[in-house]
Amino acid sequence: MKFEEIIKKRKSVRKFKSKTPSWKDILYAIDLANQGPFAGNQNHLHYIIVEDHNTIKALAQLCEQHWVADAKIIIVACSDDTHLENLYGERGRIYSRQQAGAAIHTLTLALTERRIDSCWVGSYSDELVREKLKIPQHIQVEAIIPIGFEAGKSKKPAKKSLERCLSWETWTQTRRPTMFEEGHEDYPPFRG
């Protein structure tokens, strides 16, 4: 699949078939997520792969999202902020959240490339998830990612158009001064 196709194909899937994704594909996706970027090249992430059905059911309860229980595998992305905080102080905690987000997105894209569906779940009790998975107190639970193969066919929601998220030179200038000069009529590809 081409890069653009992977990006556009990825969507949050919340209804899974009973087929289980291959653990080799999961390792492939985590390995790609490990390619960065990371501040100071400090990869602070750790992934717990949950296959046990009872643990998956318990995680669904802790998320208060019953559909999570239908996933055959869940990836739990965790961060250890200690080293980044030692290096960069308070800013290190910000870097930690940012690079976790970047890595999780890479992970979901890599899964998409392998035709595995997923959903980034961020709503759960950190404390109870830590307790259930024996995660140390100082570790952040960044995301719970149920994965599988979509049952049915959901639509990916519409996305923000280019003109609603751009400005030029300053926050307040929303048009590139020369954007509509001769020869530029077709660009950028504004959507309705």
Q: Is 156 in the site for ligand FMN (CB under 6 A)?
A: yes
Q: Which of 11, 130 has the CB closer to ligand FMN? A: 11
Among 62, 75, 116, 121, binds ligand FMN (CB under 6 A): 121
14 touches ligand FMN by CB under 6 A: yes
In our burial notation (b when 16+ CB lie closer than 10 A, e otherwise), range 156-179 reads: eeeeeeeeeeeeeeeeeeeeeeee
Q: Which stretch binds ligand FMN (CB under 6 A): 47-55, 82-90, 116-124, 164-172?
A: 116-124
Residues 6+ apart with CB under 8 A from 167: 173, 174
Smallest separation, CB 172 to ligand FMN (Å):
28
CA atoms within 13 A on the CB side of 149: 9
Query: Shortest distance, CB of residue 71 to ligand FMN, whole angstroms?
Result: 12
157 binds ligand FMN (CB under 6 A): yes
Site for ligand FMN in 51-70 (CB under 6 A): 65
Nearest distance, CB of residue 101 and ligand FMN, angstroms? 7
Told to check if 120 binds ligand FMN by CB under 6 A, we report: yes
Least separation in angstroms between CB 128 and ligand FMN: 15
Q: Is residue 11 at the binding interface for ligand FMN, with CB under 6 A as the rule?
A: yes
107 in contact with ligand FMN (CB under 6 A): no
Contact 65, 130 (CB under 8 A): no
Distance (Å, whole) CA 61 – CA 141: 16
Among 122, 164, 187, 191, which residue sits at the site for ligand FMN (rule: CB under 6 A)?
122
Q: Residue 110: name the closest of 8, 10, 4, 19 by CA.
A: 10
Compare residues 51 and 64 and give the one whose CB is closer to ligand FMN: 64
- Give me the residues that bind ligand FMN (CB under 6 A), please: 11-12, 14, 65, 119-123, 156-157
